[in-house]
Structure 1
Amino acid sequence: MKNILVPTDFSAEAHHAFRAALQLARRTGGTVTLLHVLALPDQPRTANFSTFGGPVSGSELPNSYGIDRIFVIKLLEATHQRMQQLLAEAAELAPGVPVHDLTDQVSVDEAVLKVIERQQIDLVVLGTQHHDALERFFASSNTEQLVRLAPCPVLAVKQAPDLDAVHDILFASDFSAEADQAVQGLQQVRQLFPQARLHLLHVTDGNANQARQQIDSFISRHQLAPAEAVLMEASSVSGGIEDAARKLGAGLIVLPTHARSAFSRFFQGSIAEKVATQSTQPVLTFHL
């Protein structure tokens, strides 16, 4: 997870994501790309800014902007200034981490997916809002959409991060046959946090003995020891995951997901999306 993308609207939530990305990039020797999606007037989108390399000067804007021209120029200037402030902050907090800035004008989802493909992004880090926050760029619908669509892992953070203090990782699964596909992603996480304790959670419907056997078999089959089996009985999988994370003091929740409904109910994308938007702990999701 060396090539990290951070979509930003310059909000506090986006700033949390930026700092989390810097912390991860320090660990991996990676790079960080900041992406801002401009909300420009409904005008032709030809050559109004550079998608890769930051905003262009106002003189390069087409004359078709008319009365909106001054607004657009000011918006580009403000965006450039804010990006420069973040680059300066990165140079101070993580001087060895290369950070690049990009802008785009398409929808957030489209812009993120385009950058993932073009720049071979390994990880997207998103800032998410608390439940009572006003609707803005990082509304839950945007987070859910990106968790569902992004081909690479997505890390959702809600609070100021301290990933260097992650001592407990919670990996939630039902440990059915398709869970074996998640092992590679789980091992990558353990490499990032080699000192952290690994907890394997099964949210049960009451059959605790069978659930524990499935976890023990999973640990043995993939040589994951030392790891702790955790059983949580709950009416919903997402609620059980959040409760277990709080009780364990988990610094990171890891969730595999699969968009196709043919897989077990745990791996349906809706669960990962719900936890990613609701949990106060950082949540890392990846597709099987």
Structure 2
Amino acid sequence: MKNILVPTDFSAQAHHAFEVALQLAQRTGGNVTLLHVLESLGDNSANFSSYGGPVNGAELPNSEGVPDGIFAIKLLEVTKQRMHALLAEAAQRAPGVAVHDAAGTADLDDAILRVVAERNIELVVMGTQEHDTMEQFFNSSTTQRMVRLAPCPVLAVKHQQAQFDVRNIVFPSDFTAETANAASELQQILALFPEAAVHLLHIGSSHDQQVLVHMQMFLQQHSLPNATTHIFDASSTTTGIEQFAQKVQADLIVLPTHARSGLSRLFHSSVAENVASSAFPPVLTFHLHAQGR
């Protein structure tokens, strides 16, 4: 995960993602690409950024009575200034990390996927807003689409992580044979945070002997020295993950996904109950078939 992409709209959420990306790049000896996309420059509504909100913190030109072309030029100038400010901040925060900027006009999803392909991006770090339910969190516009479409892992960050030091990882799963493909991705995370404890989590009844067998097999087949198994009973899968993450003070949730749905099978059916997303740590998702990164 050395080549990291951070799409930014200069919002607080995007800045949280940027800070985490810099810290990860320091650990991996990698680099960061900052991408800002203006999806519409055809009229003066272009003062709304790639995430659907105003370009936060930028002093936009007054659009009233300004021709579209001139407004677009001024907006691009403001964007350039904001990008330069982030580059300067990166030089102070992480002087050894190479940070590149990219900006343009395109469909946001297409632009992100194009940069992922062209620059061999291995991780996309995205800021996302808080929501009342975990279901809404995963269905949050751009983040949800990238979870589904990006060929590389996606790390969603909701809160500021001044010190992204992962000590407790929650790995929710049904621990079927398919889950075994996720072990290599989990081990890559542990290579970055070797002291982290891994909590293998199944939401369900502790009397499910088959799940117990699958969890023990997973432990035996993969080198996870700091891993423990947990079966947590809850009224719903999302509620169980939320409660368990709070219980162990999780710093990261690692969640295998399926390319078709963008979500783990854990979330295929009844994800209805509200959960307090403010307690959720960053969530790393990756496709089960996307190994070797």
| Higher fraction of helix | 1
> TM-score, normalized by length of structure 2?
0.81
Q: Distance in 1 between matches of 2:239 and 2:163?
A: 23
Q: Distance in 1 between matches of 2:199 and 2:175?
A: 13
Q: Distance in 1 between matches of 2:186 and 2:208?
A: 23
Match of 2:282 in 1: 282
Amino acid at match of 2:4: I
- 1:77-88 aligned within 5 A: 77-88=77-88
CA contact (8 A) 2:246 2:279 kept: no
Deviation at 1:207, TM superposition (A): 3.4
Deviation at 1:258, TM superposition (A): 1.1
Deviation at 1:102, TM superposition (A): 0.3
Match of 1:56 in 2: none
Deviation string, structure 1 residues 185-214 (Cα, Å, up to 9, x no partner)? 111111111111111111115534432322
Deviation string, structure 1 residues 40-85 (Cα, Å, up to 9, x no partner)? 3338xxxxxxxxxxxxxxxxxxxxxx92122111101100000000
Structure 1: which 5+ residue stretches go unaligned?
A: 44-65, 133-137
Query: CA 1:71/1:260 → structure 2, altered by over 3 Å: closer, same or farther?
Result: closer
Match of 2:244 in 1: 244
Match of 2:211 in 1: 211
Match of 1:59 in 2: none
CA contact (8 A) 2:153 2:284 kept: yes
Q: Distance in 1 between matches of 2:268 and 2:245?
A: 20
Q: Give the secondary-structure state (helix, strand or coil) at the position aligned to 2:95.
A: coil
Amino acid at match of 1:181: N
Q: Give the secondary-structure state (helix, strand or coil) at the position aligned to 2:70.
A: helix
Match of 1:10 in 2: 10
The number of residue pairs the alignment matches comes to 257
Deviation string, structure 1 residues 130-175 (Cα, Å, up to 9, x no partner)? 127xxxxx98122111111111000000000145432111111110
Query: CA 1:208/1:195 → structure 2, altered by over 3 Å: closer, same or farther?
Result: same
Amino acid at match of 2:75: L
**Structure 1 position 155 matched with structure 2 position 155:** yes
Structure 2: which 5+ residue stretches go unaligned?
A: 44-65, 133-137, 289-293
Q: Distance in 2 between matches of 1:82 and 1:130?
A: 24
Q: Distance in 2 between matches of 1:174 and 1:139?
A: 21
Q: Which moved more, 1:226-235 or 1:28-37?
A: 226-235
Q: Distance in 2 between matches of 1:258 and 1:195?
A: 29
Q: Distance in 1 between matches of 2:69 and 2:269?
A: 42
Amino acid at match of 2:235: S
- Runs ≥4 residues deviating over 6 A: none
Query: CA 1:117/1:278 → structure 2, altered by over 3 Å: closer, same or farther?
Result: farther
CA contact (8 A) 1:155 1:285 kept: yes
CA contact (8 A) 1:155 1:282 kept: yes
Match of 1:191 in 2: 191
Identical-residue share of aligned pairs (%)? 56
- 1:137-156 aligned within 5 A: 140-156=140-156
CA contact (8 A) 1:20 1:161 kept: yes
Q: Give the secondary-structure state (helix, strand or coil) at the position aligned to 1:229.
A: strand
Query: CA 1:106/1:39 → structure 2, altered by over 3 Å: closer, same or farther?
Result: closer
Q: Give the secondary-structure state (helix, strand or coil) at the position aligned to 1:213.
A: helix
Deviation at 1:249, TM superposition (A): 0.2
Q: Distance in 1 between matches of 2:150 and 2:7?
A: 13
> TM-score, normalized by length of structure 1?
0.82
